[in-house]
Amino acid sequence: MENVLVYFMKSSGLLALFFLSYHFLLRKETFFDNNRWFLLSGLVTAALLPLLFFTKIKVVVAGLPKLNWTALPHIVEPDEKSMLAYWPQALLLMYGLVTLFLTAKMLFDFYSLRSLLKGKERQQDGDFTLIATKDNSAPFSFFKTIVYNSELYSETELSNILAHEKVHSDQNHTLDVLLSTVFCTVFWFNPFVWWYKKAILQNLEFIADHEATQNITDKRAYQITLLKITTQQPYVALTNHFYQSLIKKRIVMLNKNQSKKRNAMKYFLVVPALIAFVLVFQIKMVAQAPNSLPISGTLNTIDHTIKKDATDQELQNTTTLFKDTQDVELLISNVKRNATGEIIGIKVTFDDHMGSSGTNGQKGTRPIDPIRIVSKKMEDGTIEIGFYAEGEEVTNPRGDSDEEQSTISMGSKTKTNAQTITTSSTTTSNTTTTTERPQPAVKAVKSAVPNSKESKTTSSTHTIKILESATDGIPLDVQYYIDGKKTTKAAVDKLDPNTIDKMNVDKDTEKGNTIKITTKAAVK
């Protein structure tokens, strides 16, 4: 019931918008054909636009709110004997009865028209069917049928009448009449719909008068014909009548100069109002955390994995998730798929606008390995974000002592160019190379550490964590060098990254992997 009322309110508002636009901006212009389509588009818009909704998905990560049960409003059940409890049903009943009456009237008009035309002698004039009658009634047309009393008019007057009615028939004005009548039947409670129908019928007469007089040399005789028919009454409400009550306005419009072309810009003035209507009433905000975007951890943590079978929509939802929840720019590009739709190439880049950024790129002939992205928003507003291996435990890179942890994953034993990671005391730039074979690359994690109140510089303690992993069941042979001297993994783990000038990772399918570290002391 509530949805029906909302629909009627929106439709009535749109009808009022188009009618007022026509009444104040367009009814005095001579763009009769354009006015016809403007008024018809108003009816269609009023009927359909309230049914069209544009969905805006806002991906959110939210927990259950804490409810104060004592503050919840107390719902009072209506008194069964109170008539107010039945007002929606009463309104619906009244609407139904009036609509039923108007529908019956419309059907009766169809029946009356059918009875009127039944048994009459017909004459074919091209595409038009002419029916002569002896009734003292105004001429009218219904689709391609034109009805008139030839005994009431002279030859010139009859010629003018037929020229007028043929315009109605040829341009299918009967459809406009029927459509406006249906709207009056459905939206009878809206006063604008009755004025709207009157505007439509009046403009149709302007069109027929204008077209009929294009091939008439004596416009004065045509106007006299208009005045002569004012004493006659129309047959039925569903037809196009030669006579309309606004004879004076029709004569004025016949003698009015053509409107200037620049005045046609008035039609576009309704567009901003329609855009505002859509933005205010027809956009639904949908908050969701889709199944394709698994989220774990605390309210401020996003733990999401991009897999080989992710759809384009799921990739778009991923970027929206990071943007809307933590204001992290996540760019997914260079997506390539095989014949089965699996991703075989992708580039994922993040930027938290606080100095941390990273890239993970994979391409090859086989599906990519999962790309896991973990982002945590701290209480102070800073972001901890990075790429992790599947199953790897995610720890707070800052910890209690504002530590920054860099995680480097050794990928598959595919020959590739060496990657260089340069580390200083203030910046850690982490890059994952693109290989010919997808590798489970784990991006280094960088945290944005807030400035200390006691010092203008930022200091942090660094540790290095190296994960040795293999893909396709190929074991890795990793060798470590510090300043050209072979060492052990344990020694590398203990090395302070602040002392490192650069780190080279050389991967070779036959010889294994070599990590060469050059310290700042060796460079000096």
The residue type at 490: A
Greater pLDDT, 137 or 72:
137
Answer yes or no: is pLDDT of 98 > 70. Answer: yes
Angle between helices 173-186 and 32-48 (to 10 degrees): 40
Same domain, 8 and 131: no
Q: What integer pLDDT is reported at residue 357 of this predicted model? A: 82
Coil/strand/helix, residue 391: coil
Q: Which residues contact 113 (CB under 8 A, 6 or more apart)?
A: 142, 235, 236, 238, 239
Q: Which domain holds residue 39?
A: 1-61+271-288
Domain assignment present for residue 466? The answer is yes
* Ranges 23-37, 347-361, 508-522, most confident: 23-37
Run of H or E residues at 344: strand 343-351
Same domain, 245 and 353: no
Answer yes or no: is pLDDT of 351 > 50. Answer: yes
Same domain, 440 and 330: yes
Same domain, 359 and 424: yes
Q: How far apart are CA 401 and CA 452, in angstroms?
A: 13
Q: Which residues contact 518 (CB under 8 A, 6 or more apart)?
A: 483, 500, 501, 502, 503, 504
Same domain, 500 and 367: yes
Q: What are 158-184's pLDDT values in tens digits? A: 999 999 999 999 999 999 999 999 999
Of 59-73, 384-398, 486-500, the poorest mean pLDDT is in 59-73
Q: What are phi and psi of 138, to 5 degrees?
A: -70, 145
Q: Which two tokens stand for residue 130?
A: 């002419």
Query: Which band of pLDDT confidence, cut at 50, 70 and 90, is reported for residue 38?
Result: very high
Q: How far apart are CA 389 and CA 383, in angstroms?
A: 19
How many distinct structural domains can be found in the chain? 3
Q: What integer pLDDT is reported at residue 358 of this predicted model? A: 85
Coil/strand/helix, residue 283: strand
Query: Which band of pLDDT confidence, cut at 50, 70 and 90, is reported for residue 475?
Result: very low
Same domain, 2 and 150: no
Cα 389 to its chain centre, rounded Å, is 37
pTM, 2 dp? 0.54
Q: What integer pLDDT is reported at residue 104 of this predicted model? A: 96
Q: What integer pLDDT is reported at residue 207 of this predicted model? A: 95
Q: How far apart are CA 462 and CA 450, in angstroms?
A: 16
| Helix spans in 255-304 (H) | 270-281
Answer yes or no: is pLDDT of 224 > 80. Answer: yes
What is the residue-averaged pLDDT of the chain? 76
Domain assignment present for residue 262? The answer is no
Query: Which band of pLDDT confidence, cut at 50, 70 and 90, is reported for residue 32?
Result: very high
Domain assignment present for residue 442? The answer is yes
Same domain, 178 and 147: yes
Coil/strand/helix, residue 393: coil
User: Which is it for strands 145-148 and 128-132: parallel, antiparallel or unpaired?
Assistant: parallel
Q: Which two tokens stand for residue 80?
A: 């069964």
Can you tell me the mean pLDDT for 85-90? Answer: 78
Domain assignment present for residue 8? The answer is yes
Can you tell me the mean pLDDT for 242-250? Answer: 69
Same domain, 229 and 128: yes
User: Residues of 438-468 as b/e, b for ≥16 C-beta within 10 angstroms?
Assistant: bbbbbbbbbbbbeeeeeeeeeebebebebee
Q: How far apart are CA 119 and CA 135, in angstroms?
A: 14
- Closest CA relative to residue 315, chosen from 346, 344, 339: 346
Same domain, 211 and 323: no
Q: What are phi and psi of 201, to 5 degrees?
A: -65, -40
Coil/strand/helix, residue 67: coil
Sheet bearing 478-482, strands edge to edge? 419-421, 500-508, 512-519, 478-482, 485-487
Find the largest Cα–Cα distance for the chain: 121
Q: What integer pLDDT is reported at residue 233 of this predicted model? A: 60
Phi-psi region for residue 119, left (φ > 0), alpha (ψ -120 to 50) or beta? left
Answer yes or no: is pLDDT of 255 > 50. Answer: yes
Q: What integer pLDDT is reported at residue 73 of this predicted model? A: 54
Same domain, 486 and 352: yes
Residue 469, Cβ density class (10 Å: 0-12 exposed, 13-18 middle, ≥19 buried): middle
Q: What integer pLDDT is reported at residue 236 of this predicted model? A: 60
Q: How far apart are CA 376 and CA 383, in angstroms?
A: 6
Q: What are phi and psi of 43, to 5 degrees?
A: -65, -45
- Closest CA relative to residue 56, chosen from 285, 277, 262, 248: 285
Answer yes or no: is pLDDT of 463 > 80. Answer: no
Same domain, 250 and 348: no
How far the first Cα of the chain sits from its last, in Å, is 81
Can you tell me the mean pLDDT for 245-261? Answer: 85
Q: What integer pLDDT is reported at residue 457 of this predicted model? A: 34
Residue that the structure tokens 């599947």 belong to: 390
Greater pLDDT, 40 or 72:
40
Domain assignment present for residue 334? The answer is yes
Domain assignment present for residue 424? The answer is yes
Q: How far is CA 204 from CA 229, 233, 238, 243, 374, in A?
A: 17, 18, 13, 12, 66
Q: Which two tokens stand for residue 181?
A: 């009548």
Same domain, 225 and 348: no
Q: What integer pLDDT is reported at residue 85 of this predicted model? A: 64
Answer yes or no: is pLDDT of 212 > 50. Answer: yes
Answer yes or no: is pLDDT of 487 > 80. Answer: yes
Cα 219 to its chain centre, rounded Å, is 52
Can you tell me the mean pLDDT for 382-394? Answer: 78
Query: Which band of pLDDT confidence, cut at 50, 70 and 90, is reported for residue 3?
Result: confident
Q: What integer pLDDT is reported at residue 490 of this predicted model? A: 78
Domain assignment present for residue 111? The answer is yes
Domain assignment present for residue 263? The answer is no
Run of H or E residues at 355: none
Answer yes or no: is pLDDT of 431 > 60. Answer: no
Q: What are phi and psi of 260, to 5 degrees?
A: -70, 145
Q: What integer pLDDT is reported at residue 491 of this predicted model? A: 83
Q: What are 276-325's pLDDT values in tens digits? A: 999 999 887 765 555 444 444 444 788 889 999 999 888 988 888 888 87
